[in-house]
Structure 1
Amino acid sequence: MKWSRAVHHLTELAEKCGGLSTGFFRFQVVELWVFGGLVDVPRDVDVIQVALVTDLPVDDVPWLTEPVGAEHWANSTRLSRNPFDARWRSRDAPVWNHRIERPALVWSAADGVNEEALVAVGDGTAELVRTAAPEPDELRRRVADELDVSLRALRRANQEYTDHRWSPGKLTPHSDALWRTTTGYLDLLDVVN
């Protein structure tokens, strides 16, 4: 997709984040960050990588999972209909990790749309609004913390799948949750090892 189109989609999402009713969803998105190709030099991109920070506790948003209600939120904001690769995060932990490198904040519930950041992304100077890179030890601690959260989530998802394995009703929500949690855990384990 063209750079200008990607920036347009990002701007639309930032505006929609501020326009949502606060009592309609099971959680609130409190920040929108952009990372990856769109914070680099202008060029065509395949996908717009964003991090959506929620008001949920860390254990409710392990790496590479979606909180309950995320699909509904994504449909309401057209996130699911546009070329976004979204990562869900908790406000109780840093947004950055081994994959979300030096993101730029484009919207927050406290301050609204960050026009400076959107202009910088649009004109290819996002370097000016990106967060600083963590020190190597800080990154290692961050990944270790995420691995602990992910392991707890994997155990919960496995138990939920086991509990519902032979019960009436659809197993897909439980198997999908187990798959996402496993994928996140293995991604973090690969980084640690």
Structure 2
Amino acid sequence: MKWTRAVHHLTDLVEKVSEMPGTHFRFEVVELWVFGDLLGAPRDLEHIDVALVVDLPVDEVPWLTEPLGAEHWANASRVSRNPVMPFWRSAQAPVWNHRIERPALAWSKADGIAEETLVAVGDGTGELVRLPAPEPDELRKRLDDELALSLAALRHDNQVYTDRRWSPGKLTPYADALWRTTTGYLDLLDALAR
């Protein structure tokens, strides 16, 4: 997609999130961060990366998983119909990690739309509004914390899948949850090995 279209998708999402009532969902999105290629120089992109920070405990939002109700939220916000790659994060932990590198806050429930970020992204000067990079020890600690959380979630989702394996009803939601948790755990292991 063209750069201007990508910026339009981000702006549209920020506006939708700022207008969405939190009472219709099991959680509330309290911050929206942009990261990745959209913070660089203007060029064609395949998708835009956003981190959606929710008011849930960290153990309900392990790395690369979706909180319960995320699909409904994505449909209501049109994330599911646009070239947007959402990464769900808990408000009780830092938004950044090895993949969400130096994000820029685009919206928060507390302060509203971060116009400076949207202008910088549109101008191709997103570098000016990004968070500073963490120190290597700080990043390592963050990854260790996320890995421990991810392992606990993997054990839990594996047990839920095992318990439901031969029960009546669809297994797909449990298999999908286990797949997401496994993918997150392996991604963190690979990041720590580098």
TM-score bracket, shorter-length normalisation: over 0.9
User: Aligned equivalents of 2:15 and 2:113: distance in 1?
Assistant: 7
User: Aligned equivalents of 1:108 and 1:126: distance in 2?
Assistant: 18
User: Aligned equivalents of 2:109 and 2:173: distance in 1?
Assistant: 30
User: Aligned equivalents of 1:7 and 1:110: distance in 2?
Assistant: 23
Count matched residues. Answer: 193
User: Aligned equivalents of 2:142 and 2:162: distance in 1?
Assistant: 30
Contact 2:117-2:129 within 8 A present in 1 as well: yes
User: Aligned equivalents of 2:79 and 2:113: distance in 1?
Assistant: 17
User: Aligned equivalents of 1:190 and 1:48: distance in 2?
Assistant: 23
User: What is the CA-CA distance between 1:173 and the residue it aligns to?
Assistant: 0.3
**AA at the equivalent of 2:126:** A
Q: Which runs of 5+ in 2 are unaligned?
A: none
**AA at the equivalent of 2:134:** P
TM-score scaled by structure 2?
0.99
User: What is the CA-CA distance between 1:191 and the residue it aligns to?
Assistant: 1.4
SS of residue matched to 1:92: coil
Counterpart of 1:154? 154
Task: List 4+ stretches of structure 1 deviating above 4 A.
Answer: none
Counterpart of 1:72? 72
Give the RMSD, CA atoms, in angstroms.
0.5
User: Aligned equivalents of 1:152 and 1:16: distance in 2?
Assistant: 34
Counterpart of 1:42? 42
Contact 2:22-2:29 within 8 A present in 1 as well: no
Q: How does 1:105-116 map to 2 (within 5 A)?
A: 105-116=105-116
**AA at the equivalent of 1:175:** A
User: Aligned equivalents of 2:22 and 2:74: distance in 1?
Assistant: 15
Counterpart of 1:57? 57
User: What is the CA-CA distance between 1:176 and the residue it aligns to?
Assistant: 0.1
User: Aligned equivalents of 1:89 and 1:145: distance in 2?
Assistant: 14
**AA at the equivalent of 2:55:** D
**AA at the equivalent of 1:3:** W
User: What is the CA-CA distance between 1:171 and the residue it aligns to?
Assistant: 0.3
SS of residue matched to 1:23: helix
Q: Which runs of 5+ in 1 are unaligned?
A: none
User: Aligned equivalents of 1:183 and 1:107: distance in 2?
Assistant: 28
Counterpart of 2:175? 175
User: What is the CA-CA distance between 1:104 and the residue it aligns to?
Assistant: 0.4
SS of residue matched to 1:11: helix
TM-score scaled by structure 1?
0.99
User: What is the CA-CA distance between 1:158 and the residue it aligns to?
Assistant: 0.2
Contact 2:33-2:103 within 8 A present in 1 as well: yes
**What is the percent sequence identity of the aligned residues?**
72
Counterpart of 1:133? 133
**AA at the equivalent of 2:29:** V
Q: Does 1:184 align with 2:174?
A: no
User: What is the CA-CA distance between 1:179 and the residue it aligns to?
Assistant: 0.2
**AA at the equivalent of 1:111:** D
Contact 2:31-2:107 within 8 A present in 1 as well: yes
User: What is the CA-CA distance between 1:108 and the residue it aligns to?
Assistant: 0.4
User: What is the CA-CA distance between 1:128 and the residue it aligns to?
Assistant: 1.0
User: What is the CA-CA distance between 1:18 and the residue it aligns to?
Assistant: 1.0
User: What is the CA-CA distance between 1:187 and the residue it aligns to?
Assistant: 0.5
